[in-house]
Amino acid sequence: MTAPLRIGLLGLGTVGAALFRALQDNHTSIKNRSGRSITVTAVSARDKSRDRGINLQNVAWFDDPVALASSDTVDCVVELIGGADGTAKAAVEAALSSGKHVVTANKALLAKHGSALVSLAEKHHAALNFEAAVAGGIPIIKTLRESLAGNTVSRVSGILNGTCNYILSRMELEGLTFDACLKDAQRLGYAEADPTFDVGGFDTAHKLSILTSLAFGAEIDADAVYVEGIASIAPLDLVMADELGYRIKLLGVAERTSTGIEQRVHPTMVPKHWAIAQVMGVTNAVNVAADIVGELTLVGPGAGGNATASSVLSDLIDIARGIVLPPLGLPSNALAVPERAPMQRHEGGYYIRLAARDRPGAAAGIATRMAEQSISLESIVQKRPPASRAADPAGKSGEPVPVVLITYATTEEAIRRALDAMMADGHIAEPPQLIRIERG
């Protein structure tokens, strides 16, 4: 009879406890599918006395995660500690150096040290699996690495952070401000006390860098990702998006362009009829465009104990079956060094909201600056708030007036030059709002 796969579990938080329960509750079906038992034989966590609702009576406890990772009592280490450095990195390196397989949900670790860890895994003939690191329960890693291995991928994009999608969804549906939605998300546990990593776009950027590597056969290059968050999005932007037939989503987008591989994270206007525009709340979605299959969109829970544990389980079952694949789809020495496409070369349509000074010559000056950069305008909308119109029906107060410009396709560089010139002219009272438009 095949010996059980002995698991060392690092971290017993929401995901770790959910994984432990799933391995117990589904023990028989997992054994039947993988051909052997998968059993947690050792754990390490911060507080041994904490009640997690699981029975650890027959499980060895290690105060030191690195010691567990090096122990001969486990065959595979599941790292659920988190963080790009420190204990998580040391434990994963120790496990791989000992020839142990590793399953991790740690996107920050992979984004920063993925290339080195992949080489270490290959050197010691160990698996390094990370389905749970991107989009929670959505099997996007296997989809790119295995199911689409015969395709040439041209673009991968998605909603990769549930916190941001929850905030933008509530802002749109309830007309709330960003700050109000963020406070509610923190109260409900969807956002951290310090939400910068999520709402600033950095969490999405880490995940995107991993998908980019898998999609284009390139080394992970997280430093190349252009990042903007959602804190600047105002209720008026969501109203205008609705009127124009769009929804605003924080997207991570990676695509092959004539100037290299473009990686960008930013608020994006997407047409309402697109499948990804229908994804609301904390749900995630990933779209892949490839030459043979065409387009695929995968939608599902992007976080949470059970969703993440489901992805960890799929990786463990592969290891139990004896499946060890190149972590990034290709041997590390075959991964290309990605050519970075500068964001200034990005081409597309733009939504621009200006706080235009209500004075003679302002509108003409704005139009002139756009024309100087050969930027064609699809539409111009002046949106004076109702309260302002009632107080000043003639529009002579001189107070800034919201003006929304929608451009045809142009370059990021041209847009930035035009906006810098407008600011220098004094025609706009505050930095402009700029949102890129995806039209397909």
What is the model's pLDDT at position 385? 59
Reported as a single tens digit per residue, the pLDDT across 286-325 is 999 999 999 999 999 998 999 999 999 999 999 999 999 9
Confirm whether 241 is domain-assigned. yes
Confirm whether 339 is domain-assigned. no
Q: Does 110 share its domain with 217?
A: no
Q: Please give the full DSSP string across 70-107, using - where no structure is assigned.
A: H-TT-SEEEE----SSHHHHHHHHHHHHTT-EEEE--H
What CATH number is given to the structural domain containing 211?
3.30.360.10
Among 132, 128, 138, 203, smallest CA distance to 164 is for 203
Give strand pairing partners of 248. 269
Query: Phi, psi (5° rounding) for residue 191?
Result: -130, 145
Q: Which two tokens stand for residue 234?
A: 């105002």
What is the model's pLDDT at position 2? 85
Confirm whether 162 is domain-assigned. yes
Q: Does 363 share its domain with 241?
A: no
Q: What is the pTM of this model?
A: 0.94
Say if residue 26 is exposed, middle or buried (CB neighbours under 10 Å; 0-12, 13-18, 19+): middle
Alpha-carbon span 338 to 221, nearest angstrom: 7
Q: Please give the full DSSP string across 310-344, using - where no structure is assigned.
A: HHHHHHHHHHHTT----TTSS-GGG-B-PPBPPGG
What CATH number is given to the structural domain containing 119?
3.40.50.720
Confirm whether 323 is domain-assigned. no
* Sign, Cα dihedral of 9, 11, 15, 20: positive
Confirm whether 83 is domain-assigned. yes
Q: Does 246 share its domain with 369?
A: no
Q: Does 214 share its domain with 117?
A: no
Which of 115, 133, 151 is the last residue before a domain boundary?
Answer: 133
Q: Does 102 share its domain with 201?
A: no
Q: Does 191 share its domain with 215?
A: yes
Among 123, 330, 347, 367, smallest CA distance to 217 is for 330
**Residue 207 appears among annotated catalytic residues:** yes
Which entry of 207, 249, 383, 396 is annotated as an active-site residue?
Answer: 207
What is the model's pLDDT at position 392? 52
Residue 83 structural domain: 5-133
Q: Does 25 share its domain with 128?
A: yes
Among 41, 45, 10, 11, smallest CA distance to 23 is for 41
Which of 278, 301, 324 is the last residue before a domain boundary?
Answer: 301
What is the model's pLDDT at position 301? 95
Q: Does 263 share its domain with 359?
A: no
> Which uninterrupted H or E stretch holds 296?
strand 294-301
Q: Does 80 share its domain with 154?
A: no
Q: Which two tokens stand for residue 326?
A: 């190149």
Q: Does 158 share its domain with 293?
A: yes
- Contact status, residue 226 vs residue 266, Cβ threshold 8 Å: yes
Among 199, 200, 188, 253, smallest CA distance to 225 is for 253
- Contact status, residue 345 vs residue 374, Cβ threshold 8 Å: no
Confirm whether 84 is domain-assigned. yes
Q: For strand 128-129 and strand 101-104, is the pairing parallel, antiparallel, or unpaired?
A: parallel
Alpha-carbon span 72 to 55, nearest angstrom: 23
Q: Does 150 share its domain with 244?
A: yes
Q: Which amino acid is at 359?
A: R
Structural domains in the chain (count): 3
What CATH number is given to the structural domain containing 402?
3.30.70.260
Confirm whether 324 is domain-assigned. no
Question: Measured in Å, how far apart are the chain's first and last C-alpha atoms?
Answer: 54
Q: Which residues of the chain have pLDDT under 50?
A: 388-391, 394
**238 Cβ contact list (under 8 Å, min separation 6):** 168, 171, 172, 248
Confirm whether 127 is domain-assigned. yes
Q: Does 273 share its domain with 365?
A: no
Helix H, strand E, coil C: the string for 14-64 is HHHHHHHHHHHHCHHHHHHHHCCCEEEEEEECCCCCCCCCCCCCCCEECCC
Distances (CA, A) of 27 to 32, 52, 129, 314, 387: 9, 19, 21, 13, 63
Which of 102, 133, 164 is the last residue before a domain boundary?
Answer: 133
